Amino acid sequence: MTQAPAPQAASLEVWPGKAYPLGATYDGTGTNFAVFSEAAEKVELCLFDADGTETRITLPENDAFVWHGFIPNIEPGQRYGYRVHGTYDPPTGQRCNPNKLLLDPYSKAIDGNFDWNQSLFSYNFGDPDSRNDDDSAASMPKSVVINPFFDWGNDRPPGYEYADSVIYEAHVKGLTQTHPDIPENIRGTYSAVAHPVIIEHLQSLGVTAIELLPVHHFANDSTLIDKGLSNYWGYNTIGFLAPDSKYSSSPNPGGQVQEFKAMVRALHEAGIEVILDVVYNHTAEGNHLGPTLSMRGIDNGAYYRLVEDDKRYYMDYTGTGNSLNVGHPHSLQLIMDSLRYWVTEMHVDGFRFDLASTLAREFYDVDRLSTFFELVQQDPTVSQVKLIAEPWDVGPGGYQVGNFPPQWTEWNGKYRDTVRDYWRGEPATLDELAYRLTGSADLYEQTGRRPVASINFVIAHDGFTLRDLVSYNEKHNEANGEDNNDGESHNRSWNCGVEGPTDDPEINALRSRQQRNFLTTLLLSQGVPMIAHGDELGRTQQGNNNVYCQDNELSWIDWSDPDTELMEFTRKVSALRAAHPVFRRRRFFSGRPVRQRGGDGLPDIAWFAPDASEMSDEDWDTGYAKSIAVYLNGNGIPDRDVRGQRIVDDSFVLCFNAHYEPIDFVMPEKKFGGSWIAVIDTAADDGDEPTPVDAGQKVQVAARSVLVLQAATEE
């Protein structure tokens, strides 16, 4: 599809149109345009030819501060923007300037890039109190009218329960850019994510959902561009309804929408859900020194939280310059309309909310019952998809792990920290490790939630990769151009004796074992596991723990040199989890004997010291202890299948040894199981045949390793 020339204003018919829906809506005969602004005195719709020729049309109607008009014969592919006339007085929070072309907050596609120069700013560089009236149109990308029609065929959401989910966090480009079996012309795009080789890889890992780093259209920061870098991660949104064109292989304006939908359809056909990492807490317009690109020039005070006693400044709970004003109805409407659009029109299956505590700040404090969460709770569409919170922001009281409403799940930062500390040998971690392995009841049970409220992760995009976690004690972010001052300094990592790459075979063997330890712990913990892309392949970022600006080989998966043994191990552990519901319980353990429903009178869980004695309070409080065994009773699962039948599984004993020497574990007494056979050993060489171990017998668990034993089937 190529864009037709924009008609001249004199030849255009402009009908009143409708105030809803907001944005540009094509109906087959023309396009309705609607934009909210209480601050505006007049709004001009600006249509652009392919060569940049601009045609301005004053929107004729204003209903409840929504400016709107319908223009016949305006078709998909048409590029447009707005100019808003009104008061420019930053000290009172008003920043209208018709010399600045503005993106539609409801853009469903955006075409072009920002040409960072003075014209994008409403003040003159060096004088924030001045006014700059340079026209910005030539330096701005443009909103695009899209074709809303798409053949979804028989597309249906896979609809996995949380308990059965394995999430794979990935970056569209980083996942696909170097894969040799993907055609070069589509690498790094939505089409590449939908390529059979990527889908087959995800399926082989047992992945049920891919969680994509931000794909909402975002701006590359001028400060990064000046350094020869870019905003690789994409946490700098400027279009909440628009899939970013940077990940599209289509040459046509708006083609990214069709390509994104095709990706979702292909993933659904393969049984894989699509979860989007979304950034509703701030936008790319930054603080009072930022550019005027969209909402700032449309209605600054409605869309952004301003400092009450000096409204030229912005409240910043995100560390990025501004915070969206979730206390204003039209700002809330934008968020909710965006969420519904991605579910109903783009068919995505859920969202991970970046810095979600910001969305709970109606005033200054975090309020778990804020209007945003009430709207989500009541929405018949949004409330039914997967909702994952990053439960913190950078403001006061922003760390809210465990405090989100019942229907929400959370990135469990305490899980990450505890598991990292345990495997690097920190003292006094056993009691907290027990909570994390069993679904973090201490965080979620009192609020009516279940183990699946905990999205368990050891590695995410933000921080070390798994390989780097066991290879570096310190961050090495020099490539970011900030003198290694950016990124987290306290990583809870351990380099196993040498900083960075080494030829020492013992250290490399230990690093491989530690990676297997982390993956085994993650995949066999109660809750929902999340794997970061490439960790199953041994991906490294050479010690850089903040590759937000590195759109290059440092941040992309290197498919040419995968750790195939680690990949096969990951598949094996994931398959064990999928095959056994005892690792996917929907309710917390009680620790009490199971006597009802055919129970065996044994507890649903039991904890043992290496000598097979049940853990005492003194054992839990022993700071130096680093070894523990846990018995999971397959006959003690309080869940039922879809037909209402009680779920029964095999029982397991998991032996954890973070000590630097091997430990002999005695198997529990016979009532727990007569014979056990090792099914996962993070220290074993491939091909080792496990020997059954009887109750009361000893089994050696290697230094810094996990041994998983399954109750042997009685003949």
Exposure string (b/e) for 531-543, b if CB count within 10 Å is 16 or more?
bbbbbbbbbbbbb
> What are the two backbone dihedrals, phi and then psi, of residue 597, each rounded to the nearest 5 degrees?
55, 40
Tell me, yes or no, if 259 is annotated catalytic: no
Q: Which two tokens stand for residue 682?
A: 């993070």
CA 285/CA 518 separation, integer angstroms: 39
Please tell me which residue in 259, 390, 393, 431 is annotated as part of the active site: 390
Burial of 28 (0-12, 13-18, 19+ CB in 10 A): exposed
- Contacts by 195-201, CB closer than 8 A, 24 or more apart: 199/266, 199/267, 199/270, 199/272
Question: Is 619 annotated in the active site?
Answer: no
Q: 259, 354, 563, 681: which is the annotated catalytic residue? A: 354
At residue 344, what are phi and psi to the nearest 5 degrees?
Answer: -80, -40
How far is residue 205 CA from its own chain's centroid? 19
Ramachandran category for residue 474: left, alpha or beta (phi over 0 → left; psi -120 to 50 → alpha) = beta
Q: CA separation (Å) from 436 to 173, 455, 524?
A: 32, 11, 11
Alpha helix (H) ranges present in 9-71?
A: none
User: Quick count: other Cβ atoms within 10 Å of Cβ 322?
Assistant: 27
Question: What would the two tokens of residue 183 be?
Answer: 């055609």
Tokens, residue 511: 């690093």
Q: Where are the alpha helices (DSSP H) in 525-559?
A: none
Q: Which residues contact 680 (CB under 8 A, 6 or more apart)?
A: 520, 572, 573, 576, 706, 707, 708
Report the catalytic residues: 354, 390
